[in-house]
Each structure stands twice: as structure tokens, then as C-alpha cells.
Amino acid sequence: MYDIHCHILPGIDDGAQDMEEALQMAEMAVEAGTKVIVATPHCNVPHFYRNYKGEWYYKLMEKFRKALAENDIKITILPGMEVFSTEELPSLICEDKIIMLNNGCSLLMEFGFDDEPDYISYIIQKIIDLKVKPVIAHVERYECIQNNPDIIAEWKKMGCAIQVNKDSFLGLHGIYAEEVAYTLLENEFISVLASDAHGVRYRTPNMMEIEQVLYAQYGEKKIHSLLYENARILCRSRQ
């Protein structure tokens, strides 16, 4: 499996708090069958995290990869970030302050849970105009989607990929997120599933939980692309 949304880099946001926890998360992911994780710390969250692209990011990633090798944990870690989508995002991209998924052409973007759909569409269009493919994070948690899941059809038509959290299918983000996650799946609106893991106790990287649940309900054929192929395509690097 691929996991394109995971707060596994140690000590820089509300995910893994230190190297020990990051290694525990990686071990759990390996046991669940995950082969590739994109490390996506929060970025550009007003009043909380800046975490813009810089040498510090790649140094931390190298330190983490080295610790993984020293502990014989076999998993590929790719660069990325989960960027909070503000009016400034287009200029931040132009200033090369944002890391795309595996330095490719796709960007994991989150919005405020109560953002208006027209505002979200407006920002999405500005990003698409820069030839970047938006991957909209955990759409099932947004109020506008819980009220009207059909908005997703418009975002897909614009060229977005749609990411849903595995925990939503398990009811861990509440009943509304759970219901809309299943609605989106049944309407073929989801491009990719991911863990959005923050630790090893709650919001974990154990993707096997969702793989088993959804394979049993929908069959391997329907779910496989959401855990493997679509995610792999979004991680293509720019070459």
C-alpha cells in the first residue's frame, strides 16, 4: 500500500513527537503492508505551523531515513506536506516554499472544516492555473461536503484528486464523516485513501484495518486502486 497523508516526521507538528514515535509509526505501517509513506507535516496553518520548504525539511527526512535503516525498518519515505489553503497559497507556490507529493505535480491541500464551497473552488482554480494538481485532504470532514456530497463532482471535474481518511470509515471522525465517506465511495468520488496518521495510539498508520473492512464490503477490485495505483500515480516525481 501507499499512504500519501501521514504526519510521521518527528517533532515538527502534532504528529510524531520524537524519533522514537516516528519509528514506531513506521513499524506499524510496515506490519500493515504499507510500502511507501509520503511524510506530510502541516504547513501554512495560521497561528500554528509555518513549516515552509527548506533545507531543514530534507535534513530531517535524511535523519529519519537513516534511523529507519539503522533499525532495519524497510519502508520508503517520500517528501511532501499538507498545506493549509489560504489566499497566499498561489504566491507561496510561485516562491517555491511548498513541497508537492514526492516533489512532483500534485499537492495535498487542506481547508478549514467550515470553509464555504465557493471559496474552496476559487482557491482550487488558482492552484490548477499554476499547473498543480490539487489533492483535497479528508473531504469527508468538511461541513459543506457533509451537507452536500455532490460538490465533489464539481471539484473532480475541475481536475482534483479526492482523499478520504481511513479513520472516517471506522467512525473515528464522527457519524457524519462516516456516512459521507461511504456515500463518496459508493458514488466513485474517492481517488485515494490515506491514514492521516498522527501517532501509534490514536489516528494510527495501520491501513490494514481499512483494507480488510472495505475489501470485505466492496471487493478487492474496487478498493485496490484507492490504496495502490491512484496513490502511486499521484506520487510520480517531476522528471
Q: Binding string, 146-185, against Fe ion, x = CB under 5 A?
A: ----------------------------------------
Whichever of 140 and 196 has its CB closer to Fe ion, that residue is: 196
Contact between 13 and Fe ion per CB under 5 A:
no
Among 82, 140, 167, 211, binds Fe ion (CB under 5 A): 82
Q: How far is the CB of 25 from Fe ion (least distance, A)?
A: 13
Q: Which stretch binds Fe ion (CB under 5 A): 52-60, 76-84, 163-171, 210-218?
A: 76-84
Give whole-number Cα distances, 238 to 56, 71, 139, 155, 204, in Å. 21, 30, 26, 23, 30
Q: Which long-range contacts (CB under 8 A, 24 or more apart) does 220-225 make?
A: 223/193
- The residue of the chain with the least Cβ separation from Fe ion equals 196
Task: Report if residue 196 touches Fe ion, rule: CB under 5 A.
Answer: yes
Torsion 206-210-216-218 (CA) sign: negative
Q: Taking CB under 5 A as the rule, does residue 140 contact Fe ion? A: no
Phi and psi at 7, nearest 5°, equal -90, 70
# chain residues binding Fe ion, by CB under 5 A: 2
Q: What angle do CA 125, 129, 133 make, to 5 degrees?
A: 75
What is the number of alpha carbons within 13 Å of residue 176 lying toward its C-beta?
A: 13
Please state, as a whole number, how many other Cβ atoms lie within 10 Å of the Cβ of residue 62: 11
With contacts defined by CB under 5 A, name the span among 81-89, 111-119, 154-162, 203-211 that binds Fe ion: 81-89
Q: List interacting residues with Fe ion (CB under 5 A).
A: 82, 196
